[in-house]
Copies of this chain bind each other. A is one copy, B any other.
Amino acid sequence: MLDKAVSILDVYRPDGGSFRLTELAARAGLPKTTAFRLIGDLVRLGLLERDGERYRLGGTLFELGSLVPRRHDLRESALPFLQDLFESTRQTVHFGIRDDRDVVYLERIHGHDAVPLPSRIGGRLPLTCTAIGKALLAFSGPELADAILAGPLPRLTAYSIADPLRLRTALEQTQVSGLAYEEQEAALGISCIAAPVFAGAGEPVAALSVAVPREHFRPAHLAPAVRTAALGLSRTLRQG
């Protein structure tokens, strides 16, 4: 039964939105009556809510989701540094962690006139298509990179790296410089620079980045700010 309830909730991933009963049932692969029954329970429990004739995710999910430790704890420590980075660059700042082969975004800060990006708090993008992902990947154990490089690489744009050799080279450059770059690999017209965040010896626990319209991309200006934020945060995390 739990599986069925979650299959209903999963209809809303990754795009959110709202659905009517029949569509929700179809997308969840459940008989209409079963879906109707479960939806009623989910609404009662606050995990879904009614919006006219439609259903959308409910406030209780938001409240529970906000308590998830890996989001809450890391975000609290990172926020001042992300704010610094946003202020010194005025560009969209991201903060994310690795989950399997994806980046999961824990925070995203932008101002007015922010460029449209596919990233979203709570959303996922492939490690290999994003600067944050590459920063995480470059400093993770070699087994992960090997495993990812052994299969086909996911693509979000025509510029996404599809050649394993090219990706390996990029990762090695990141290992040397401590910075990872993204060139229209996740979103057309967008460049990005990222640095890993460490909590101690070993793999990075997170990474942060700045995303910029390509024609305004100035690594020389951005790199020090990105490094400073990542180092500052790493130091804070090490001190517990």
For chain A, the bracket of interface size reads 35 or more
Q: Mark A2-19, 1 if CB is under 8 A from B, else 0.
A: 110110010011111110
Nearest CB in chain B to that of A64: its residue: B61
With A and B bound together, what is the CA distance between A139 and B112 in angstroms?
A: 27
A124 interface residue, CB < 8 Å from B? yes
A47 interface residue, CB < 8 Å from B? yes
Nearest CB in chain B to that of A56: its residue: B69
A62 touches B58 (CB 8 A): no
A68 touches B57 (CB 8 A): yes
A140 interface residue, CB < 8 Å from B? no
With A and B bound together, what is the CA distance between A124 and B71 in angstroms?
A: 18
CB A239 to nearest CB in B, in angstroms, measures: 14
B86 touches A83 (CB 8 A): yes
A141 interface residue, CB < 8 Å from B? no
B67 touches A122 (CB 8 A): yes
List chain B residues, Cβ under 8 A from A42.
Answer: 2
A115 interface residue, CB < 8 Å from B? no
Contact of A67 among B38, B57, B67, B83 (CB under 8 A): B57
Q: Mark A35-71, 1 if CB is under 8 A from B, else 0.
A: 0001001100101000100001111111111111111
Write the residues of chain A forming the contact surface with B, with a CB cutoff of 8 angstroms: 1-3, 5-6, 9, 12-18, 38, 41-42, 45, 47, 51, 56-72, 79-80, 83-84, 86-87, 99, 104, 109-112, 114, 120-124
Provide 14 A-B residue pairs closer than 8 Å at the C-beta atoms, listed in order of the A residue: A1-B2, A2-B2, A2-B42, A12-B64, A13-B63, A16-B68, A18-B69, A59-B70, A59-B104, A61-B65, A62-B66, A62-B71, A63-B124, A65-B65
